[in-house]
Amino acid sequence: MASDQASEGGQTPVLGTPDDFAERPAGRGTRVAYVVIGLLVALMGGGWGYVMLAANGNPVVNGQVITYDAAAADHADVTFTVHKPSGRAATCRLRALDTRHLEVGSRDIAVPAAGSDVRLDERVRTSAQATTVQVDYCDLV
Protein backbone atom coordinates (compact mmCIF):
# COMPACT_ATOMS: atom_id res chain seq x y z
CA MET A 1 0.00 0.00 0.00
CA ALA A 2 2.88 2.32 0.72
CA SER A 3 4.22 1.53 -2.73
CA ASP A 4 0.83 2.52 -4.20
CA GLN A 5 0.98 5.95 -2.48
CA ALA A 6 4.60 6.45 -3.43
CA SER A 7 3.84 5.61 -7.05
CA GLU A 8 0.94 8.07 -7.05
CA GLY A 9 3.28 10.81 -5.81
CA GLY A 10 1.70 11.04 -2.33
CA GLN A 11 3.91 11.05 0.74
CA THR A 12 3.03 9.80 4.22
CA PRO A 13 4.36 11.58 7.31
CA VAL A 14 7.13 9.71 9.09
CA LEU A 15 5.54 10.12 12.53
CA GLY A 16 1.98 9.72 11.34
CA THR A 17 -1.02 12.03 11.37
CA PRO A 18 -3.25 13.10 14.27
CA ASP A 19 -5.80 10.54 13.09
CA ASP A 20 -3.28 7.75 13.79
CA PHE A 21 -3.29 8.42 17.56
CA ALA A 22 -5.94 7.74 20.13
CA GLU A 23 -7.74 10.75 21.60
CA ARG A 24 -6.42 12.05 24.91
CA PRO A 25 -8.74 13.42 27.56
CA ALA A 26 -8.81 17.19 27.13
CA GLY A 27 -7.51 19.42 29.91
CA ARG A 28 -5.87 16.94 32.31
CA GLY A 29 -2.37 17.12 30.82
CA THR A 30 -2.39 20.89 30.48
CA ARG A 31 -3.60 21.42 34.06
CA VAL A 32 -0.80 19.22 35.42
CA ALA A 33 1.75 21.08 33.29
CA TYR A 34 0.51 24.46 34.55
CA VAL A 35 0.68 23.28 38.17
CA VAL A 36 4.24 21.97 37.72
CA ILE A 37 5.35 25.19 36.00
CA GLY A 38 3.71 27.26 38.76
CA LEU A 39 5.49 25.27 41.47
CA LEU A 40 8.84 25.69 39.72
CA VAL A 41 8.33 29.45 39.37
CA ALA A 42 7.34 29.73 43.05
CA LEU A 43 10.40 27.71 44.10
CA MET A 44 12.73 29.85 42.00
CA GLY A 45 11.12 33.04 43.34
CA GLY A 46 11.55 31.84 46.92
CA GLY A 47 15.19 30.94 46.25
CA TRP A 48 15.86 34.33 44.70
CA GLY A 49 14.25 36.05 47.69
CA TYR A 50 16.44 34.07 50.08
CA VAL A 51 19.59 35.01 48.14
CA MET A 52 18.64 38.69 48.22
CA LEU A 53 17.85 38.57 51.93
CA ALA A 54 21.11 36.79 52.74
CA ALA A 55 23.17 39.20 50.63
CA ASN A 56 21.62 42.47 51.76
CA GLY A 57 19.58 41.62 54.83
CA ASN A 58 22.42 41.82 57.36
CA PRO A 59 23.93 45.16 58.34
CA VAL A 60 27.42 45.75 57.04
CA VAL A 61 30.32 45.88 59.49
CA ASN A 62 33.55 47.38 58.18
CA GLY A 63 36.96 47.28 59.80
CA GLN A 64 39.85 49.42 58.60
CA VAL A 65 43.46 49.61 59.76
CA ILE A 66 44.60 53.14 60.60
CA THR A 67 48.20 52.42 61.66
CA TYR A 68 50.33 49.43 62.57
CA ASP A 69 53.80 48.84 63.94
CA ALA A 70 55.38 45.52 62.97
CA ALA A 71 58.96 46.35 64.01
CA ALA A 72 59.12 43.67 66.72
CA ALA A 73 59.71 40.05 65.73
CA ASP A 74 57.20 38.59 68.18
CA HIS A 75 54.22 40.97 67.89
CA ALA A 76 52.57 43.71 65.87
CA ASP A 77 50.62 46.66 67.29
CA VAL A 78 47.63 47.87 65.30
CA THR A 79 45.14 50.72 65.55
CA PHE A 80 41.93 50.18 63.63
CA THR A 81 38.36 51.42 63.43
CA VAL A 82 35.15 49.43 63.15
CA HIS A 83 32.00 50.91 61.61
CA LYS A 84 28.88 49.02 62.74
CA PRO A 85 25.28 49.66 63.80
CA SER A 86 25.12 51.55 67.08
CA GLY A 87 24.28 49.38 70.09
CA ARG A 88 25.46 46.14 68.45
CA ALA A 89 28.59 44.23 69.45
CA ALA A 90 30.90 42.74 66.84
CA THR A 91 33.90 40.45 66.50
CA CYS A 92 36.80 41.29 64.19
CA ARG A 93 39.71 39.09 63.14
CA LEU A 94 43.14 40.69 62.79
CA ARG A 95 45.82 39.00 60.69
CA ALA A 96 49.56 39.65 60.65
CA LEU A 97 51.33 38.68 57.41
CA ASP A 98 54.98 38.27 56.44
CA THR A 99 56.75 39.24 53.19
CA ARG A 100 55.35 36.18 51.38
CA HIS A 101 51.78 37.07 52.50
CA LEU A 102 51.69 34.10 54.85
CA GLU A 103 49.85 34.48 58.13
CA VAL A 104 52.26 34.69 61.05
CA GLY A 105 49.69 35.71 63.65
CA SER A 106 45.99 36.32 64.14
CA ARG A 107 43.63 37.40 66.86
CA ASP A 108 39.86 37.72 67.32
CA ILE A 109 38.87 41.04 68.89
CA ALA A 110 35.56 41.68 70.67
CA VAL A 111 34.21 45.10 69.69
CA PRO A 112 31.92 46.66 72.33
CA ALA A 113 28.32 47.60 71.51
CA ALA A 114 28.73 51.28 72.37
CA GLY A 115 28.75 53.68 69.41
CA SER A 116 28.75 53.07 65.68
CA ASP A 117 32.39 53.98 65.00
CA VAL A 118 34.80 52.36 67.44
CA ARG A 119 38.57 52.88 67.47
CA LEU A 120 40.71 50.14 69.03
CA ASP A 121 44.42 49.65 69.79
CA GLU A 122 45.44 45.98 69.91
CA ARG A 123 48.50 43.74 69.85
CA VAL A 124 48.79 40.59 67.72
CA ARG A 125 51.36 37.99 68.77
CA THR A 126 53.38 36.65 65.82
CA SER A 127 55.48 33.56 65.20
CA ALA A 128 57.81 35.44 62.82
CA GLN A 129 58.49 38.98 61.66
CA ALA A 130 55.30 40.54 60.30
CA THR A 131 55.35 43.10 57.51
CA THR A 132 51.68 44.05 57.48
CA VAL A 133 48.53 43.77 59.57
CA GLN A 134 45.01 43.70 58.20
CA VAL A 135 41.43 43.38 59.39
CA ASP A 136 40.36 40.08 57.85
CA TYR A 137 36.63 40.41 58.64
CA CYS A 138 34.16 41.80 61.16
CA ASP A 139 30.81 40.21 62.04
CA LEU A 140 27.98 41.28 64.33
CA VAL A 141 27.52 39.19 67.45
pLDDT tens digits for range 15-26: 777 777 776 666
Residue 8 binned pLDDT confidence (cut-offs 50, 70, 90): low
C-alpha dist (Å) from residue 46 to 38, 39, 40, 53, 58: 12, 10, 10, 10, 18
Q: pLDDT, tens digit, for every residue of 46-81?
A: 999 888 877 765 678 999 999 999 999 999 999 999
Position 57 scores a pLDDT of 59
- Given 2.40.50, 2.60.40, 3.40.50, 3.40.1350, which CATH number is that of 62-140? 2.60.40
Could you give the CA distance from residue 18 to residue 3 in angstroms, rounded to a whole number?
A: 22
pTM for this model (two decimals): 0.60
Q: Domain segments of the chain: what residues?
A: 2-56, 62-140
pLDDT higher at 8 or 32: 32
Residue 44 binned pLDDT confidence (cut-offs 50, 70, 90): very high
Smallest CA-to-CA distance from 67 within 119, 128, 140, 116 is with: 119
* Buried residues in 106-138 as b, exposed as e (16+ CB within 10 A): ebebebeeeeeebebeeebebeeebeebbbeeb
